[in-house]
Amino acid sequence: MNNNNKMKTDILAMEKNAIFEASLKLLKAGKFQGTPLAEIAFLSKMSSRLIENIFNTRENLLCEMSAMLTSRIIRVIADAGEKSRSFKESFFQVWTALYKYYTRNPDVIAFMEQFETIKVSQKEPRVIHPGNSTPLIQLFTHPDCPLENRETLAAIFHSNVLSAAKMSSASDFNDLKLQPEFFSQLLWNGLCCSETKSQ
Residue 130 DSSP label: G
| Confidence check: pLDDT of 55 > 80 | yes
92 against 37, higher pLDDT: 92
Q: Which helix (H) or strand (E) holds 195?
A: helix 194-198
User: Smallest Cα–Cα separation from 163: which of 93, 62, 89, 95?
Assistant: 95
- Number of residues assigned to the chain: 199
Tell me the average pLDDT of the chain: 78
User: pLDDT, tens digit, for every residue of 7-25?
Assistant: 667 677 888 888 888 888 8
Q: How far is CA 185 from CA 68, 146, 148, 188, 198, in A?
A: 30, 17, 19, 5, 19
**pTM (predicted TM-score):** 0.78
- Interior angle at CA 158, CA 153 and CA 161, nearest 5: 130
**pLDDT at 128 (0 to 100):** 47
94 has pLDDT over 90: yes
pLDDT per position as a tens digit, 98-108: 999 999 988 88
Question: What would the pLDDT profile of 125-134 be if each residue is shown by its tens digit?
Answer: 444 456 566 7
